[in-house]
């Protein structure tokens, strides 16, 4: 396992050390690489487990151990990005900045801490090697992360009116909805198929801690999906307003713009 974790950590560290034009691009690239690795590992694990409860795959435990230091790193990386942004604006650092960061990113930090403090011990110790299929499905939830990161970078560089941003937004919505929201009903359905129960009876057949854990993990995903949809709707409205004719007349090019077109 160490032979796999060390190259992965070295790869992310090397990307982190490279010079990038923006702290957000650097963090987004590292997060995207980790997301691709996690999704790939999750697909390999899930597709290899024919019995969703008993079958095991070595990648399940190995990648979980690699993901723990990544979540810790990501909390620090998000803080560095926040600190760098406010440093450029001339804001003082110190405890006030840290408190503002924790307030702004409270849900994300709480999610990462929960993954390290609760999900890691559960996945490595408590489940006793069972359910690698479901762990693989959870890893595939990271599939939407590269598109989320790309969307943030495009907005940072004022590219929200481009075709790339629109296409990326559609892919982000679809992958986020499928891999982070539909994921939980799908896992319940798969378990129901395994034990011979319809989907609506599965929650009542499980121990309460399973349902509570699923609810805790799903709740922030629902909230983040709501924020993504609200942001997408806001950008759509802004695009419509910018294209709407003014005073009943279509918007025409300014003389300078026409001159530029003619000169070209």
Q: Is the residue at 176 inside a domain?
A: yes
Q: Is the residue at 256 inside a domain?
A: no
Q: Is the residue at 28 inside a domain?
A: yes
Q: Is the residue at 253 inside a domain?
A: no
Q: Is the residue at 12 inside a domain?
A: yes
pLDDT score of 9: 52
Count of all residues that appear for the chain in the document:
264
Q: Is the residue at 180 inside a domain?
A: yes
Report, as ranges of residue numbers, the positions in the chain whose pLDDT lies below 50.
1-3, 6, 11, 13, 15, 18-19, 251-264
- Report the number of distinct structural domains present in the chain: 1
Q: Is the residue at 244 inside a domain?
A: no
Domain that holds residue 21: 2-239
Q: Dihedrals φ, ψ of 246, to 5°?
A: -100, 130
pLDDT score of 264: 37
- The CA distance from 122 to 39, in Å, is 20
pLDDT score of 101: 87
Residue 60, SS3 per DSSP: helix
Q: Residue 134's closest CA among 174, 188, 208?
A: 188
pLDDT score of 258: 36
pLDDT score of 235: 78
Residue 246, SS3 per DSSP: strand
Q: Dihedrals φ, ψ of 249, to 5°?
A: -120, 140
pLDDT score of 220: 92
Q: Is the residue at 258 inside a domain?
A: no
pLDDT in tens, 34-81: 899 999 999 999 999 999 999 999 888 888 888 888 888 888 888 888
pLDDT in tens, 227-247: 999 988 887 787 777 766 655
């Amino acid at each position: 396992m160490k032979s796999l974790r060390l190259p992965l950590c070295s790869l992310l560290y090397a990307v982190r050390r490279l010079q990038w034009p923006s702290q957000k691009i650097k963090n987004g690239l590292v997060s995207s690489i980790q997301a691709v690795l996690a999704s790939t590992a999750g697909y390999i694990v899930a597709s290899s487990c024919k019995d969703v409860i008993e079958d095991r795959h070595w990648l399940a435990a190995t990648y979980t151990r690699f993901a723990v230091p990544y979540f810790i790193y990501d909390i620090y990386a998000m803080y560095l990005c926040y600190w760098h942004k406010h440093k450029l604006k001339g804001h003082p650092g110190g405890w006030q900045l840290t408190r503002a960061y924790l307030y702004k990113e409270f849900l994300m930090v709480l999610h990462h801490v929960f993954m390290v403090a609760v999900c890691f011990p559960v996945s490595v110790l408590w489940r006793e090697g069972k359910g690698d299929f479901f762990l693989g499905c959870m890893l595939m939830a990271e599939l939407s992360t590269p598109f989320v990161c790309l969307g943030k970078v495009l907005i940072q560089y004022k590219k929200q009116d481009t075709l790339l941003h629109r296409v990326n937004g559609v892919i982000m919505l679809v992958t986020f909805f499928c891999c982070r929201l539909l994921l939980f009903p799908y896992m319940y359905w798969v378990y129901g198929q395994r034990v011979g129960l319809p989907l609506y009876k599965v929650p009542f057949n499980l121990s309460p801690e399973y349902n509570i854990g699923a609810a805790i993990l799903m709740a922030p995903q629902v909230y983040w999906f709501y924020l993504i949809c609200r942001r997408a709707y806001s950008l759509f409205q802004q695009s419509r307003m910018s294209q709407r004719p003014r005073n009943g007349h279509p918007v025409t090019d300014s003389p300078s713009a026409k001159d530029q077109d003619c000169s070209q």
